[in-house]
Structure 1
Amino acid sequence: MDIIFLGTNGWYDSATGNTICILIKSHDYYIILDAGNGIHKLDQHYQKARPVFILLSHFHLDHIAGLHILAKFAFTEGLVIAGPKGTREILNHIINKPFTMPLDDLPYKVEVLELSGQKNILPFETSAMELVHTSLTLGYRIHLENKTIAYIPDTGFCQNALRLARDVDLVITECAYLPGEYSDQWPHLNPQEAARIAKEAGAQQLALVHFDAGRYTTLENRKDAELHAREIFPNTIATRDDMQLHL
């Protein structure tokens, strides 16, 4: 199973990368975590016809802007888009005329699901928990091929983040803030808090993503975040666009 970081920026595209989108490429499925502009590179990795699943964490535009280009792809086995409560209504409004092509007009079947508080309505083991953010945001825990991955997007430090990351092989957390930065009004993680989640949860590996493009203006800034995180949790990597991990 490969994890491919198609987009690793938060907020907007810049020289450091596209907005957030992560591909889990398993034997049976393509699972996409959030649909920022990095999704435009998906067809570089869509090599065999398999069902495609997009798991949306919330509806800030840097996490859904890539849905605008779904017509680019030929998902012959269909597409499932899953997200928090309200996903159907929001997508029916935004991914529709006059903004873009409606989902019903795509040249393949699309199903929309809402996952809040539910388990195992997908064909692979998945649980979703609410995180601490300015709007309803879900984190995900996915188990397949005898590996477990936690995806903890936009959030402040919270108990559900720890629950999602408990004993996983890989925890992917956002890292919008610079080392030591914190705000109750706009909850996000800094590298130390992300590392604390991984350490307290007993995770095996931590990957930092969703670097705020206005704060992390260079890849060197990300390496600095990695160093700060490694002081707490040594097995940390600061991701960059097109990086791949194998589990």
Structure 2
Amino acid sequence: MKQKNLHQYPLVWRKDDFFIKIYSSIPNVSTGILLTTSKTAFIVDPGDGILRDLTKDVGPETILRVSDIFISHGHHDHVGGVWSLLTYWSVLRRKTPLSIYYPEGCVEIESIYKAFNEVYGKELSYKITLKPISDQKAFTRNSVRIKPFKVNHRELNPDGTSAEIPSLGFKYYYDSKSICYGGDTAYCENLVKMAKGSDLAIIEAGALDEESTDLHMTVAQAKEIGKTAKEFFLVHVPDE
């Protein structure tokens, strides 16, 4: 097990041609992930600022290679860059189709797609397909096997109570290697199971204190899970 730097973004991991880079436009909040192999490119949780980061870092050739977007949940720091990406591809007259995978019931993605299609649908040069995930069945995209799994993320109500929201983690398998991404979640057994033995685990640790652990994990909880993987990143870590 090897722990990576907690705060120095972007976070980068590579094994042969299996590559992942985590950007953070908002300090200590993971706002966009690029995952590539020699055969494909995915974007995971494109938060606000991801297009700027990708344009500066990898340029249009790689951005145009992206075949799929994966959404863990609908909070703005994870979906705020979707509109700008869809617009960018339209401006560049993208021809290849795009699939967006997201937890069933994530109204944010469906609302963004509906609004975007109303504004640009008649002139769109590429097809966008929404792929709501209602189960935990694995599937394959461009030689990468993806295993979605349910996690436990909640948001605060105005009265101070919390409510569970549709949320997923994803485990990506490629060429005998694996990356587990937990998204945002409180401590949950699904994440414990999926992180164990992964070549890389990406674990959020956004709880400020023990009283916040029904929404996020503490650093100690996240490390406990991360140490079961060969290497791990902690993300969403609050300032001390």
Tell me which interval the TM-score lies in, with the shorter structure as reference length: 0.7 to 0.9
Aligned residues: 203
> How do 1:43-58 and structure 2 match up within 5 A?
43=55, 44-45=57-58, 46-48=60-62, 50-58=65-73
Residues 106 and 145 of structure 1: is their aligned pair in 2 closer, same or farther, counting only changes over 3 Å?
A: farther
Q: TM-score normalised to the size of structure 1?
A: 0.72
1:171 correspondence with 2:220: no
For residues 183-223 of structure 1, give each alpha carbon's deviation from its aligned partner in whole angstroms, at most 9, with x where no partner exists.
36741012111110122xx3101111223xxx42xxxx4xx
- Relative to its length, the structure with more strand (as a share) is 2
| Selected match of 1:131 from 134, 139, 151 | 151
Q: 2: CA distance between counterparts of 1:17 and 1:38?
A: 14
Q: 2: CA distance between counterparts of 1:159 and 1:126?
A: 19
Instruction: State whether residues 44 and 69 of structure 2, in contact with CA within 8 Å, keep that contact through their aligned partners in structure 1.
Output: yes
> How do 1:102-117 and structure 2 match up within 5 A?
106-117=124-135
Instruction: State whether residues 138 and 148 of structure 2, in contact with CA within 8 Å, keep that contact through their aligned partners in structure 1.
Output: no
CA apart distance, 1:156? 1.0
> What secondary structure sits across from 1:128 in the alignment?
strand
CA-based RMSD:
2.7
Instruction: State whether residues 155 and 189 of structure 1, in contact with CA within 8 Å, keep that contact through their aligned partners in structure 2.
Output: yes
1:205 correspondence with 2:205: no
Who is 2:98 aligned against?
A: 79
Instruction: State whether residues 165 and 197 of structure 1, in contact with CA within 8 Å, keep that contact through their aligned partners in structure 2.
Output: yes
Q: 2: CA distance between counterparts of 1:173 and 1:156?
A: 10
Percent sequence identity is 26
Q: 2: CA distance between counterparts of 1:177 and 1:100?
A: 38
Q: 1: CA distance between counterparts of 2:75 and 2:115?
A: 19
Q: 1: CA distance between counterparts of 2:114 and 2:233?
A: 34
1:93 correspondence with 2:119: no
Q: 2: CA distance between counterparts of 1:145 and 1:103?
A: 37
CA apart distance, 1:98? 8.1
Q: Which amino acid in structure 1 is aligned with residue 193 of structure 2?
A: R
Instruction: State whether residues 136 and 150 of structure 2, in contact with CA within 8 Å, keep that contact through their aligned partners in structure 1.
Output: no
> What secondary structure sits across from 2:220 in the alignment?
helix
Instruction: State whether residues 151 and 191 of structure 2, in contact with CA within 8 Å, keep that contact through their aligned partners in structure 1.
Output: yes
> What secondary structure sits across from 1:95 in the alignment?
helix
Who is 1:147 aligned against?
A: 177
CA apart distance, 1:22? 0.7
For residues 123-160 of structure 1, give each alpha carbon's deviation from its aligned partner in whole angstroms, at most 9, with x where no partner exists.
22111111111112101111013210000111111101
> What secondary structure sits across from 2:69 in the alignment?
strand
Instruction: State whether residues 154 and 188 of structure 1, in contact with CA within 8 Å, keep that contact through their aligned partners in structure 2.
Output: yes
Q: 1: CA distance between counterparts of 2:117 and 2:127?
A: 20
Who is 2:191 aligned against?
A: 161
> How do 1:59-70 and structure 2 match up within 5 A?
59-69=74-84, 70=86
Who is 2:22 aligned against?
A: 5
Q: TM-score normalised to the size of structure 2?
A: 0.74
Instruction: State whether residues 139 and 152 of structure 1, in contact with CA within 8 Å, keep that contact through their aligned partners in structure 2.
Output: yes
1:182 correspondence with 2:206: no
1:39 correspondence with 2:39: no
Q: 2: CA distance between counterparts of 1:152 and 1:126?
A: 13
Q: Which runs of 5+ in 2 are unaligned?
A: 1-17, 155-164
